[in-house]
Structure 1
Amino acid sequence: MHVLVTGATGYIGSRLVPRLLAAGHDVRVLARTPAKLDVHPWAADVDVVEGDVRDPAAVAEAVDGIDAIAYLVHAMDGPGYARRDREAAHVVADAAADAGVARIVYLGGLQPDEADAAGRRRVSGHLRSRGEVGEILLDGPVPAAVLRAGIVVGTGSASFEMIRHLAEVSMGGPLVLPMPDRVWNRIQPIAVGDVLHAIAGCLELPPEVNRAFDVGSPDVCTYRTLMTGYAAEAGLLRPLPLPVPIAAPRLTGRLVAALTPVPRGLAEPLVESMRHELVCDPADIADLDALIGEPPGGHTPYRTAVRRALDDDGDAAGSPSDPPGSGPVRWSATDTYDVDAPAHAVWQVVETLGGEHGWYTVPGLGTVGSVLDVLAGGSGDDPPAAPGRALQVGERLDRWRVEQVDPGRRLLLRTAAGLPGTAELEITVEPTGRLTSRYTQVLRFGPRGVAGRAAWLATYPTQRFVCAVMAKTLTGVATTRHRQGLRRAHA
């Protein structure tokens, strides 16, 4: 099948394309900026058409020879996005009809059932726009399948990242946590893998199917239980929530944008949508299962989806085009020095780290685990490592544990013991000439809760000083020893 994917650099699209390629489909993508595709490993395997979904000429070129369209475009980039979405939907629907496309699959949003006193449905602007696009496609001449999803659970999803970072900030703080009363509204999330299964399956539906399907996990949650469920899987404390009658989506959106990496332009519409109860119609889920089958292993429960997202974080399984701030918060500080000594001479000094040799830093700190003790607020009690040994994976170096080692080139140390988060220290040594090299030292810290963020910020000046002294001293020792060796060789 020849499939056109619009929105291929977005969260869902960038994950759908490799899935379609693996299934043997020929894939074409429509992209306003084709250069953005270059970061994806599948970029060379797709046909690319440059253009915007509101440009009839570009869309006509893109749909030529196409059997089905995965329509994954939804703008939330400022005022007027609803009008732009309507225009794009009409252009795509008309071009698809002219080209003889057999199927359009659109990923929209769950729609609320509540109405005001006059019987009109009360829908946030964000969800109303998604509903309008679905209706345009269903009313068009090409058979359409409109998938209506709630929060998609997976690293890189704006809604999930908002939940993640709010949970990380708030859970583990006070025992009583004030929350807007709308977080008690119900929502039915869905795992990203289940969404991809639904889109791929609907591309091959028979032509008589022209309808919308609610899609979701087996769990109906509240926004509060989304956060506490994440906290449980991430190992965070779960305080007692206290409902507060606040209905200020713009103010709340600004607060969310300040506390998380989710930009304000996304945060405000997402927060506005929280005023609704967004629950699937079970009949829709059953009907779709009958047509395309359940996802492998069945529909994914919410906490299982969270667990998989956390596993993906550790495996760096996100998409290269995921928005900044996707994944867990990780802060880093880097020190780099060009060294007048060969790489092997620098590595010999690296192998003496820990134990009685210390960390080549400030006296009194170097012997107690360096910056980890600054972050943890106390000294470590691990036994000293034996000097002059080859580093081994699993070996303890004071508070650190050797996670990875490429002898002569790279050392990765990691720890979580005694810290409000997880710390990594990566050291790399690269040759830059026959007798010169470059030493790079990166400290990374993934904070846990408010305590972790406070620890990093409060200790930042001290740990920057400690790390800078370590890098300068270690490379200085390597240079001095190398020069001494040269003098002895020429004596």
Structure 2
Amino acid sequence: MHVLVVGATGYIGSRLVGRLLAAGDRVRVLARSPDRVLVHPWADEVEVVPGDVRDTGAVRRACGGTDAVVHLVHAMDGPGYAERDREAAHVLADAAASAGVRRIVYLGGLQPDEDTGRVSGHLSSRREVGDILLAGSVPAVVLRAGIIVGTGSASFEMIRHLTEVAMGGPLVLPLPDRLWNRIQPIAVDDVLHTIDGCLRLPDEVDRAFDIGGPDVLTYRSLMSEYAAEAGLRRPLPLPVPLSAPRLTARAVAALTPVDRALAQPLVESMRHELVCDPADLAALDELIGSLPGGPTPYRTAVRRALDGVGAAGPGPADPPGSGPAEWTSTDGYDVDAPAQAVWAVIETLGGEHGWYTVPGVSTLTGFLDVLAGGQLPRRHPDGPPRLLAGEPLDRWVIESVEPGERLVLRAAAPLPGVARLELRVRATGRLTSRYEQTVRFRPRGLAGRLAWLAVYPGQRFVFAVMARTLTGVAHTRYQRQLRSPIRR
């Protein structure tokens, strides 16, 4: 089968393309920015048609000669997204009909019952796009999904990061009462299986289906069950009668990597109960069958995401901040000295030699002391420092060593998170090298995030001085070595 994927560089599309190729399908992608295709492992196996989803000429060229189209474009990137999605749907419906495409598959959103009041703009737009495609002359399947569980999914990342912030807080957790509404999440693997199966349905199937996993949970339960899988403490939730989606979206944007423009429509949709029609699930299962072992339970899907397994794991083009929260800062310098000269300085770190940083900031104590909430006892190795995995190095523990190339230290202090310091050197020429020094902090709960914000300005200065001084020492020592008499 020859398949056009519109939205191939997005979350679902980037994973679907690999699945289709593995099944032996030919794949063409429509890309507004073709360079974004290059980061994917399947880049050399697909045909790329440059163009925007609202460009009639580009979409017609992309549809030409294909058997089926998967439409995965959801703008949701600011004001006017509904109008842009509507226009793109009309362009695709017309282009597919002109090109003789046999099937369109569209991934939209679950819809609330009609008697629940005004539907959020985000869900209304998804329903409108589906209606446009179903009204066209090309047989279409509209799949309506709720929260998709997997690393990189905006809704799942919102759940992940809010949970990790909240579950490190007080024993009683105030939550907006809309979090007691129900939702039927679905694993990303199940979504890909369903899209793939729907591409191969007979022409007479022309309708919408609700799709979801086996569990119907409240939004609060999504957080609680995530906490259980992640090994986090689960506080007692306290419902608060609060309906302020804009304010809530600001809070979500502040506490998670999800952009405010994306957070607001997602938060607005939480006021609805989004549960699948069981008749749809049964009909779809009859048509395409389910995955071996049946639909994926929510906690199994969460575990796959935490473990980075398959499609549930990270992808090369996932939005920034996908996956566990981790803040990093890197300093790098080109050095007029060979890599072994820089490594020789790295081997002297700690103990009486110090850390080549701000005078008085012994063993980077300012950074670790503030994170730990108090002054820590100093920890020195017995005798000269040794770069061996598991050995102490002042207030750090050596986590891994690649002699001459890379050293990774983990803070031994009881911190509200995990801090690592990575030092790496590589040769760039016979007598030149590149030194890179990276600090990573993975916070635990709200306390960890607040602690990092408190120390960030100071630690950036301290570590920048360390990187500059360490490379300067390496250069100076190497120059002295060149000028010293040759010993026979």
Q: How does the TM-score come out when normalised to structure 2?
A: 0.91
Judging changes above 3 Å, is the alpha-carbon distance between structure 1 residues 450 and 313 closer, same or farther for their aligned structure 2 residues? farther
Alpha-carbon shift at residue 406 of structure 1 (Å) = 3.0
Moved more, 81-90 or 359-368: 359-368
Q: Structure 1: how far apart are the matches of 2:230 and 2:336?
A: 45
2:23 maps to which residue?
A: 23
Tell me if structure 2 keeps the 8 A contact 1:236–1:449. no
Query: What do the CA deviations read for 1:55-101 (whole angstroms, capped 9, x no partner)?
Result: 33222211111111111112223333323323322222222223222
Provide closer, same or farther for how the CA distance between residues 188 and 352 of structure 1 changes in structure 2, counting only shifts above 3 A.
same
| CA distance 1:83–1:488, shift in 2 (3 Å) | closer
Distance 1:352 1:127 in 2: 59
In 2: Cα distance, 1:397 partner to 1:298 partner: 50
1:387 corresponds to 2:392: no
C-alpha displacement at 1:294, in angstroms? Answer: 1.6
1:107 deviates by 0.5
| Alpha-carbon separation, structure 2, partners of 1:101 and 1:316 | 31
* Map of 1:34 onto structure 2: 34
| Counterpart position of 1:252 | 248
* In structure 1, C-alpha distance between the alignment counterparts of 2:218 and 2:299, rounded to whole Å: 13
Query: What is the distance in 1 between the residues matched to 2:311 and 2:280?
Result: 34
Mean CA deviation greater in 290-299 or 41-50:
290-299
Q: Is the 8 A contact 2:110 2:275 kept in 1?
A: yes
**Does the C-alpha gap of structure 1 residues 17 and 414 become closer, same or farther in structure 2, counting only changes over 3 Å?**
farther
Does residue 458 of the first structure (1) align with residue 454 of the second (2)? Answer: yes
The 3-state SS of whatever aligns with 1:127 is helix
Corresponding letter in the other structure for 2:237 = P
Structure 2 counterpart of 1:196, which letter? L
CA–CA distance in 2 between the matches of 1:91 and 1:337? 50
Taking the TM superposition and a 5 Å limit, the aligned residue runs for 1:43-82 are: 43-82=43-82
- Sort the Cα spacing of 1:49 and 1:315 in 2 relative to 1 into closer, same or farther, 3 A: closer
Alpha-carbon distance in structure 2 between the residues aligned to 1:289 and 1:155: 25
**Deviates most, 11-20 or 465-474:** 465-474
- How far 1:47 moved relative to its partner? 1.0
1:294 is aligned to 2:313: no
Does the aligned pair in 2 maintain the 1:368–1:380 contact within 8 Å?
Answer: no
The CA distance in 1 between the partners of 2:406 and 2:114, in whole Å, is: 58
2:420 paired with 1:435: no
Spell out, residue by residue over 1:173-196, the C-alpha distance to the aligned partner (whole angstroms, 9 max, x if none): 122222111010000111111111
In structure 1, C-alpha distance between the alignment counterparts of 2:193 and 2:391, rounded to whole Å: 43
Pairwise CA distance, 1:16: 0.9
With over 3 angstroms needed to count, the CA separation of the structure-2 counterparts of 1:395 and 1:95, relative to structure 1, is same
Q: Which runs of 5+ in 2 are unaligned?
A: none
Distance 2:24 2:377 in 1: 54
Listed as ranges, the matches of 1:22-421 within 5 Å are 22-115=22-115, 122-312=118-308, 317-354=313-350, 357-361=353-357, 366-367=362-363, 371-376=367-372, 377-379=374-376, 384=381, 387=384, 389=386, 391-415=387-411, 418-421=414-417
Quick one: structure 1 residues 388 and 180, their matched pair in 2 at CA, closer, same or farther if it must change by over 3 Å?
Answer: closer
Q: Distance in 2 between matches of 1:487 and 1:231?
A: 61
Are the counterparts in 1 of residues 364 and 462 from structure 2 also a CA contact under 8 Å?
no
Question: Any idea what SS the aligned residue of 2:237 has?
Answer: strand
Cα contact 1:236–1:448 (8 A) shared by 2: no
Give the SS at the match of 1:12: helix
Deviation at 1:148, TM superposition (A): 0.9
Amino acid at match of 2:186: I
Measure how far apart 1:446 and its partner are.
Answer: 1.5
Aligned partners of 1:406 and 1:123: how far apart in 2? 56
Q: Which has the larger displacement, 75-84 or 271-280?
A: 75-84
Aligned AA (1:421)? G
CA distance in 2, matches of 1:432, 1:48: 35
Larger mean Cα displacement after TM superposition, 320-329 or 341-350: 320-329
8 Å CA contact 2:93–2:136 kept in 1: the answer is: yes
Q: Specify the SS of the correspondent of 2:223.
A: helix
Q: Greater shift after overlay, 161-170 or 265-274?
A: 161-170
- Determine if contact 1:356/1:385 at 8 Å carries over to the other structure: no
Q: 1:180 to 1:438 in 2, by over 3 A?
A: same
1:115 match: secondary structure: helix
Tell me which moved more, 456-465 or 188-197.
456-465
The TM-score, its normalising length taken from structure 1, stands at 0.90
**Conserved in 1, the CA contact under 8 Å of 2:306 and 2:313?**
no
Provide the rounded CA distance (Å) in 1 between the counterparts of 2:294 and 2:397.
39
Q: 1:78 to 1:488 in 2, by over 3 A?
A: closer
Aligned length: 486
Superposed displacement of residue 352, structure 1:
3.4
Pair 325,481 (structure 1): closer, same or farther in 2 beyond 3 Å: same
Gaps of 5+ in 1: none
In the TM superposition, residue 451 of structure 1 has moved relative to its aligned partner by: 0.9
Give the Cα separation in 1 of the matches to 2:377 and 2:366. 10
For the 8 Å contact 1:374–1:463, the answer to whether it is kept is: no
The letter for the 2-side match of 1:190 is I
How many angstroms apart in 1 are the aligned matches of 2:71 and 2:57?
17
CA contact (8 A) 1:156 1:319 kept: yes
Contact residue 345 and residue 478 of structure 1 kept, 8 A = yes
Amino acid of the structure 2 residue aligned with 1:36: R
Match of 1:39, SS state, is: coil
RMSD: 2.8
Which amino acid in 2 is paired with 1:80? G
Q: Secondary structure at the match of 1:177?
A: strand
User: Is the Cα–Cα contact under 8 Å of residues 380 and 395 in structure 2 kept in the other structure?
Assistant: no
